[in-house]
Structure 1
Amino acid sequence: MDHFLYRDGALYAEDVPLAEIAAAVGTPFYCYSTATLTRHFKAFDEALAGMDHMICYAMKAASNQAILRLMASLGAGMDVVSGGEYARAKAAGVPGDRIVFSGVGKTRDEMRMALSGGVRQFNLESEPEMEVLNAVALEMGVVAPVTVRVNPDVDAKTHAKIATGKSENKFGIPITRAREVYARIAEMPGLKAVGIDVHIGSQLTDLEPYRQAFTKVAELTEALRADGHDIIRLDLGGGLGIPYERNNTAPPLPKEYGAMVQEILGHTGCEIEIEPGRLIAGNAGVMVSEVIYVKQGEGRDFLIIDGAMNDLIRPAMYDAHHDIVPVVEPAPGAEQQPYDIVGPVCESGDTFAKQRMMVPLAAGDLVAFRSAGAYGAVMSSEYNTRPLIPEVLVHGDQFAVIRKRPSFEEIINRDTLPEWM
């Protein structure tokens, strides 16, 4: 469920018409719903009720300071994958002991940053990283809390570019070598193993891959404890999918996921950490764009809009589907026709949909891309010197710009000329 609904013939974000925001800030723009973000976080929190748990929001999905502060106010920790994300989390007021540091390529500087500012744990991805973190911790005179990300060789049955749990993926250490790796950690004075980490992919629509992976983690927990390791946390990653297409079968609900976690891992007594991102932010945001031209082509019509692949790259990168709806509600039973919906960037890949059935639209009409709250604004760029588009947060009948659109001058003035020019 989200809070982007038609009311009195217009599409609203909570109690604010999207057309009103468009008139105030221009198009294109991202719009997020506070009520939806809050609802989705609470759905996960309630799903794990009865188990010792922490929900660490995967801020790579949407990392605006306003969203992070909202998540923190609800009790979320943060899952970060870079020094920049760590700095964002701290700036949003999240204490270090609620920040989990993930990612396959942590640098020495990033390790120092987190050890200085506080960190709940590092999720280690490789043995070389383990050795470097040990050395950095010893240099600083501290002990780094760690988990090892194990690769369970489980097919998540998701898009190849967002699957992370197969043996051929770059992520984690083979689960078959986990006992050997934990034995090495026990010999490193700069590291303290506190748990196990696993994450098999994103946009999962079936619980069975989770069941397979978590069963292996439960077995590994018992084996590591038998080896003398104090395993107190299980970081289960994120990845639960969202319904990008309204007419398709909905992915499992958080409560179904929580029941499965309780069934498979409840007996371990471990604190459960999960790192949802897409499920919290995805359907909590839309991108609104204006039709510039309706172009008649050879055998097809094009809607050319002012949003482009640099603003929302998921369709170009993943062939991702987003429902695209007019901001003015169509009449019941209104006739539809197929359009190719494209942006103004000089790339054939700047295509959002092909032969998408839509009611007839004209220049100046507004459309909304649903389910754009995750991996939308955070993956945007200024390709073609197109300014990053505004982000807007709605709260009831109020809205605020939480990232403004930069001017061309601001973009150009970031460049510096060498002295010889």
Structure 2
Amino acid sequence: MPPNPLMVPEPIAACARRLAEQEADPLAAFIYDLDALETHIQWLRSHLPDGVDLFYAIKANSEPAVLRTLAPWVDGFDVSSGGEIQKLIEHDITQPFIFSGPGKLDSDFRLALEARVEQIHLESHDEIQRLNTIAAETGRRQRVLIRVNPTLPDALSTKLAMAGQPTPFGLEERQLTDAVIQVDESEYLELCGFHVHAMSHQTDVYRHLGLLDSLLDKWPIWRALAEEPAKVTQLNLGGGMGVNYQGIDQFDWPTLCWHLARRLAWLPEPPRIRFEPGRFVTAHCGYYVMQIIDLKHNHGEDFAVCRGGTHHFRLPVAQGHSHPVVHLPQNACEGEARPLTVVGQLCTPKDVLARGVPMVNPQRGDLLVLPMAGAYGYNISHADFLCHPRPVQQFIRPGALRVNDTLALEAV
């Protein structure tokens, strides 16, 4: 299970203090607990029913140490650009990968084919035509899925909708018949299934179950469109399992897997299911650490101005929430807690990471730890704004520490 987001494990706190001691200036850093990541991915796998694959969408966090930690436990990786393919190549990640996402370049297609991509998810009639032409250059047939933007009931809406409404993703169901015929008639393409990524950051498991049921109902209809339905075996349901940044109740993964197992058992010809979550895999392994550099009071509000900010950790602004913060004082604190707004160093009033954070006697030099920073944090941030230094990134294995030396944390 994911850890309590309102608590900071002692190895993380110890690492943060050690890094602060080493830095000449106040600290801004990301710390990643690779043991926690490995434990979490094992927990996710333990609930998967037969007939279901688990891929990791590396857009959430593509740091090499993260990919290497996940590699033994996932069935493969989902990439959405030539740059992400190149990252797998450069870091010797040899697990299967699938290539999805809109706006693929011809050069991306060529790189994917050279790297022996397992499947490519096609988003449009134009992509079908272009990939067939490029695959012909290699002289081999490429397995593909068609991405569908299905019609969905309002009850399945989510905070960040990817389908069921006008979006740049996939093909409408009314275009699906023509797309299937186009693939079947393409000499160098082989249709093996369909891809739907309809929800992103969905925290309600029952809405997710409603989506799953609706797509499994559509499966035999879509499959029957193919010239050879027996070769159409894959249904990729994307990811989209959300993370609750405000509390300890998290997306109910065991219930999702239990329900899916029952549905697949009822189907006469069930598809091979694939999930490709990103945020849900890595969010809880990361921590963003900021050191207080100034305390001030303006127009009735107290502020903690910290090293770093949303140019490192853009997630709170991008998601529109006040992120949880844990105060690690330098000295024992006594007294009543008062609420502070936690901000960074940027010349914009939008550089706010959290509001109303209770702190007892905060001081310059105190550390603030923002948990759940392992996904869509640093990798989506505008790191070069104002040309501030980039944050320290530390990858640790707390389980490898010597029992009596909790500060001897090694970077991986």
Structure 1 length normalisation: TM-score?
Answer: 0.86
1:356 equivalent in alignment to 2:357: yes
Aligned partners of 1:237 and 1:273 also within 8 Å = yes
Q: Which amino acid aligns with 2:201?
A: Q
State the match for 1:72 in structure 2. Answer: 71
State the match for 1:314 in structure 2. Answer: 315
1:122 equivalent in alignment to 2:127: no
State the match for 2:251 in structure 1. Answer: 252
Provide structure 1 residue ranges, at least 5 long, that are not aligned to the other structure: 403-421
Q: Counterparts in 2 of 1:158-177, with a 5 A limit?
A: 158-159=158-159, 162-177=160-175
Aligned partners of 1:293 and 1:305 also within 8 Å = yes
Residues 17, 390 of structure 1: alpha-carbon distance in 2 compared, 3 angstrom cutoff: closer
Q: Which amino acid aligns with 2:33?
A: S
CA deviations 1:162-185 (Å, max 9, x no partner) are 321222122111134323321221
Aligned partners of 1:338 and 1:355 also within 8 Å = yes
1:53 equivalent in alignment to 2:52: yes
- Please, which of 382, 387, 390 is the counterpart of residue 388 of structure 1? 390
Question: What SS does the corresponding residue of 2:277 show, helix, strand or coil?
Answer: coil
Report the Cα offset of residue 204 of structure 1.
0.6
CA deviations 1:324-356 (Å, max 9, x no partner) are 111249989962212121111101111112333
Q: Counterparts of 2:43 and 2:238 in 1: how far apart (Å)?
A: 16
Aligned partners of 1:6 and 1:12 also within 8 Å = no
Q: Counterparts of 2:132 and 2:168 in 1: how far apart (Å)?
A: 22
CA deviations 1:19-62 (Å, max 9, x no partner) are 1233235621101111221122112211213x123211111111
Q: Counterparts of 2:284 and 2:351 in 1: how far apart (Å)?
A: 23
Residues 265, 388 of structure 1: alpha-carbon distance in 2 compared, 3 angstrom cutoff: farther
Residues 153, 334 of structure 1: alpha-carbon distance in 2 compared, 3 angstrom cutoff: farther
Q: Counterparts of 1:4 and 1:246 in 2: how far apart (Å)?
A: 8
1:272 equivalent in alignment to 2:273: yes
Q: Counterparts in 2 of 1:200-279, with a 5 A limit?
A: 200-227=198-225, 228-229=228-229, 230-246=231-247, 250-266=249-265, 267=267, 268-279=269-280
State the match for 1:419 in structure 2. Answer: none
State the match for 1:412 in structure 2. Answer: none
Aligned partners of 1:282 and 1:371 also within 8 Å = yes
Report the Cα offset of residue 99 of structure 1.
0.2
State the match for 2:404 in structure 1. Answer: none
Report the Cα offset of residue 389 of structure 1.
1.1
Question: What SS does the corresponding residue of 1:13 show, helix, strand or coil?
Answer: helix
Residues 330, 24 of structure 1: alpha-carbon distance in 2 compared, 3 angstrom cutoff: closer
Cα RMSD of the aligned pairs, angstroms, is 2.5
State the match for 1:86 in structure 2. Answer: 85
Aligned partners of 1:69 and 1:93 also within 8 Å = no
Q: Which amino acid aligns with 2:326?
A: V
Question: What SS does the corresponding residue of 1:78 show, helix, strand or coil?
Answer: strand
Report the Cα offset of residue 15 of structure 1.
8.8
Identity over aligned residues, as a percent?
27
Aligned partners of 2:313 and 2:377 also within 8 Å = yes
State the match for 2:41 in structure 1. Answer: 41
Provide structure 2 residue ranges, at least 5 long, that are not aligned to the other structure: 402-407
Q: Counterparts of 2:55 and 2:342 in 1: how far apart (Å)?
A: 36
Equivalenced residue count is 394
Q: Counterparts of 1:222 and 1:351 in 2: how far apart (Å)?
A: 48
